[in-house]
């Protein structure tokens, strides 16, 4: 056990530094009346009939509390910084070797392209699972040039990948502000209010249409939801890799969204077939038959074309706004 | 034979997750058996049979489903063993949240879904709190923040468990989960084993078919609310 003193100090004092102990106990249905008695005393004097009703085994409760405290200490530990992530090639579905070693760094945007079923998800899953030749592709993932700690696989506090896709929605019955606050509290950040304000501000900058902090998350438009998800992912999520499955065109400034993630030092992996997003990336991995068939670096010529594409896009966007405001499109 | 108990609230995605695991195990040509416990009706046995695995269906009907489970599971394990299964999976829904099919020294899995609400982890008893592996499903349709909050609530009530996200539709995470199943408890019989936690007791007049309401009809293990 890490901190035996904690079990012997009066519960009322222990809860000052470790308020989450009370949350832990109440989440088992136990009633906590903090006083001068110690945590140890509290645990030793729980009513066995009440435990039976709640479905708790006293010994197991003690074990869970120890595990929980270890987990809480781990959250406050500074997370190992991911400076590089290397994909060491395996093979495609026919067994053809990929023959590559690809190193990704924070702030890079890597696009993943290929038809449905080509193996994009498997590549992303290999990264999330920090594959060690033990997945169907035989790929290996190393972090900072080394075989990674197995904690990346199972830890809920130190998840390697945060994910955003088109299908994701908010389902909680909370306002935007309450929602972000709850997320911040669950991550035990020291300054939750500051983070809440920062995220709401960023989300409003990314969203085409502004929203108030007390808007229920379930009433946000598609663009506003996406904007809030990205701002939250950039600022609150500790995961060093942001995985994005398309960002829809409507209602969000995609350039700013990517800039925000880059600024927060995420490694950005983006599955997209949108030409503008693809050209915003540093390179594109072309997936075919379960393997990485080709790596394309975005060229200067492509980047020049990006400007033309953005002009086209802005033109469409302007037309969209005219439709929204009830205008006609006889002259475009 | 590797044996696991898989439980979870109704509609949390147990069957879908098991089907994805079966596909991954079959890629290694493993012989698999599934015992599906339900109350009134289930067609899941047909889904399993379609995958070419050995299936046994048990419907508890008018009996308490978990008491029914525990009085039949030993014979199910013997059945799986005699039929040469390399993996046997029992699937049962925890219906009252206080009961749990998990057995000491047998790998215990609980499936719970992101859509069930963040209050749900603490409402579920030993089925979740004593599981070795907790699988969270339906992560593809909620936000990253909600996944993180939900996982932290699961972690709060079962901090010792391995918590994994698995998508029962696309199969994302199923391969990884299967690699954990490869280390599941290896047994031939359940003789001498014990449940991880006692099941809720009931032995009153209503257990025996009484339908009339009123003090005078209540006998046996009765408890009254404080008014």
Domain ranges of chain A: 4-76, 104-118+150-298, 300-332
CATH number, position B119: 3.40.50.300
Nearest CA in chain B to A28: B122
- The answer to whether the Cα torsion of A294, A297, A301, A305 is positive or negative is positive
pLDDT in tens, A213-239: 999 999 999 889 999 999 999 999 888
One digit per residue, the tens of pLDDT, for chain B of length 227 reads 999 999 999 999 999 999 999 999 998 899 999 999 998 888 899 999 999 999 999 999 888 888 899 999 999 999 999 999 999 999 998 778 888 999 999 999 999 999 998 889 999 999 999 999 999 999 988 999 999 999 999 999 999 999 999 988 888 888 889 989 999 999 999 999 999 988 887 788 888 888 899 889 998 888 889 99
Contact B149 A182 (CB under 8 A): yes
- B158 in A contact zone (CB under 8 Å): yes
Pick from B121, B122, B143: CB nearest A170: B143
Note the CATH architecture for domain A104-118+150-298: 3-Layer(aba) Sandwich (3.40)
Burial of A74 (0-12, 13-18, 19+ CB in 10 A): middle
- A163 in B contact zone (CB under 8 Å): yes
The one-character DSSP state at A252 is B
- A156 in B contact zone (CB under 8 Å): yes
Pick from A159, A164, A171: CB nearest B115: A171
Pick from B115, B146, B156: CB nearest A24: B156
The residue written with tokens 């308490």 in the block is B64
The span from the CA of A295 to the CA of A306, in Å, is 19
- Looking at the complex, report in whole angstroms how far the Cα of residue A81 sits from the nearest Cα belonging to chain B: 20
Which of A221, A143, A238 lies closest to A187 in space, CA to CA? Answer: A238
Range of the domain at B141: 2-200
- Looking at the complex, report in whole angstroms how far the Cα of residue A92 sits from the nearest Cα belonging to chain B: 16
In a domain, B59, yes or no: yes
The span from the CA of A94 to the CA of A96, in Å, is 6
In a domain, B48, yes or no: yes
Which of A223, A237, A219 lies closest to A180 in space, CA to CA? Answer: A237
The span from the CA of B180 to the CA of B162, in Å, is 10
Residue B219 phi, psi (nearest 5): -135, 160
The span from the CA of A186 to the CA of B50, in Å, is 42
Contact B145 A229 (CB under 8 A): yes
pLDDT in tens, A134-157: 888 999 999 999 988 777 788 777
The span from the CA of A93 to the CA of A138, in Å, is 10
- A187 in B contact zone (CB under 8 Å): yes
Burial of A80 (0-12, 13-18, 19+ CB in 10 A): middle
- Looking at the complex, report in whole angstroms how far the Cα of residue A150 sits from the nearest Cα belonging to chain B: 12
> Strand pairing partners for A242?
A162, A268
Best of A52, A123, A186, A199 to disrupt the B interface (most B CBs within 10 Å) is: A186
Pick from A27, A54, A134: CB nearest B156: A27
Q: Residue A293: enclosing H or E segment and its boundaries?
A: strand A291-297
- Asked if residues A57 and B197 have their Cβ atoms less than 8 Å apart, the reply is yes
Residue B83 phi, psi (nearest 5): -90, 10
- A169 in B contact zone (CB under 8 Å): yes
- The reported pLDDT for the residue numbered A1 is 45
Could you give the ipTM of this predicted complex? 0.82
In a domain, B91, yes or no: yes
Joined tokens for residue A318 = 């302007």
Strands B133-137 and B162-165: parallel
The span from the CA of B152 to the CA of A183, in Å, is 10
In a domain, B49, yes or no: yes
Name the domain count of chain B.
1
In a domain, B138, yes or no: yes
The span from the CA of B132 to the CA of A292, in Å, is 36
In a domain, B216, yes or no: no
Which of A192, A217, A195, A213 lies closest to A204 in space, CA to CA? Answer: A213
In a domain, B190, yes or no: yes
- Looking at the complex, report in whole angstroms how far the Cα of residue B172 sits from the nearest Cα belonging to chain A: 7
In a domain, B212, yes or no: no
Contact B129 A229 (CB under 8 A): no
The span from the CA of B193 to the CA of A244, in Å, is 47
- A179 in B contact zone (CB under 8 Å): yes
One digit per residue, the tens of pLDDT, for chain A of length 332 reads 456 788 888 989 888 888 889 989 999 989 998 888 899 999 999 998 888 888 888 888 999 999 888 888 777 666 678 899 999 999 999 999 999 999 999 999 999 999 988 888 889 889 988 899 888 899 999 999 998 877 778 877 778 899 888 888 899 999 999 999 999 988 888 889 999 999 999 999 999 789 999 999 999 998 899 999 999 999 998 889 999 987 766 678 888 899 999 998 999 999 988 898 899 899 999 999 999 999 999 899 998 999 999 899 889 888 988 898 999 999 88
- B128 in A contact zone (CB under 8 Å): no
Which of A104, A242, A219, A82 lies closest to A151 in space, CA to CA? Answer: A82
């Amino acid at each position: 056990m890490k901190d035996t003193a904690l079990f012997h100090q009066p519960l009322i004092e222990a809860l000052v530094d470790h308020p989450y102990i009370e949350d832990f106990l109440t989440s088992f249905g136990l009633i906590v009346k903090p006083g001068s008695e110690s945590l140890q005393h509290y645990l030793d004097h729980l009513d066995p009939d009440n435990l039976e009703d709640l479905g708790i085994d006293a010994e197991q409760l003690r074990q869970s509390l120890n595990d929980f405290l270890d987990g809480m200490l781990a959250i406050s530990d500074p997370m190992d910084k991911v400076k590089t992530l290397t994909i060491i090639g395996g093979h495609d579905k026919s067994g053809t070797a990929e023959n590559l070693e690809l190193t990704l760094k924070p702030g890079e945007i890597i696009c993943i392209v290929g038809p449905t079923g080509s193996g994009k998800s498997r590549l992303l899953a290999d990264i999330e699972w920090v594959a060690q030749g033990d997945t169907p592709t035989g790929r290996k993932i190393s972090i900072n040039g080394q075989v990674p700690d197995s904690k990346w696989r199972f830890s809920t506090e130190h998840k390697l990948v945060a994910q955003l896709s088109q299908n994701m929605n908010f389902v909680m019955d909370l306002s935007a502000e309450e929602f972000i606050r709850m997320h911040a509290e669950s991550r035990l950040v020291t300054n939750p209010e500051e983070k809440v304000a920062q995220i709401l501000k960023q989300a409003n900058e990314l969203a085409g249409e502004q929203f108030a902090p007390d808007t229920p998350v379930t009433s946000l438009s598609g663009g506003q939801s996406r904007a809030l998800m990205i701002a939250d992912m950039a600022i609150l999520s500790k995961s060093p890799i942001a995985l994005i499955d398309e960002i829809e065109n409507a209602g969000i400034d995609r350039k700013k969204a990517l800039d925000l993630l880059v600024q927060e030092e995420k490694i950005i992996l983006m599955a997209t077939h949108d030409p503008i997003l693809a050209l915003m990336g540093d390179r594109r991995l072309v997936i075919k038959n379960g393997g990485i068939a080709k790596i394309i670096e975005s060229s200067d010529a492509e980047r020049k074309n990006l400007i033309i594409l953005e002009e086209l896009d802005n033109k469409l966007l302007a037309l969209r706004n005219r439709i929204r405001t009830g205008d006609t499109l006889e002259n475009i | 034979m590797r044996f696991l108990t898989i439980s979870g609230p109704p509609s949390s995605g147990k069957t879908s997750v098991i089907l994805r695991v079966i596909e991954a195990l079959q890629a290694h040509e493993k012989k698999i058996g599934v015992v599906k416990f339900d109350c009134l009706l289930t067609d899941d046995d047909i889904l399993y049979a379609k995958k070419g695995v050995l299936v046994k269906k048990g419907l508890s009907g008018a009996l308490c489903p978990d008491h029914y489970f525990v009085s039949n599971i030993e014979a199910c394990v013997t059945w799986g063993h005699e039929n040469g299964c390399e993996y046997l999976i029992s699937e049962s829904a925890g219906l009252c949240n206080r009961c749990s099919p998990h057995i000491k020294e047998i790998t215990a899995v609980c499936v719970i879904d992101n859509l069930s609400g963040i209050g749900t982890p603490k409402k579920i008893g030993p089925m979740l709190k004593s599981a070795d592996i907790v699988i969270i499903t339906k992560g593809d349709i909620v936000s990253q923040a909600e996944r993180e909050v939900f996982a932290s609530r699961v972690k709060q009530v079962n901090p010792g468990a391995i918590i994994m996200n698995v998508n029962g539709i696309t199969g994302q995470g199923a391969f990884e989960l299967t690699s954990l199943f490869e280390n599941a408890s290896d047994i031939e019989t359940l003789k001498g084993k014990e449940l991880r936690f006692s099941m809720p007791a009931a032995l009153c007049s209503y257990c025996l078919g009484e339908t009339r309401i009123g003090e005078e009809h209540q006998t046996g293990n009765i408890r009254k609310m404080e008014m």
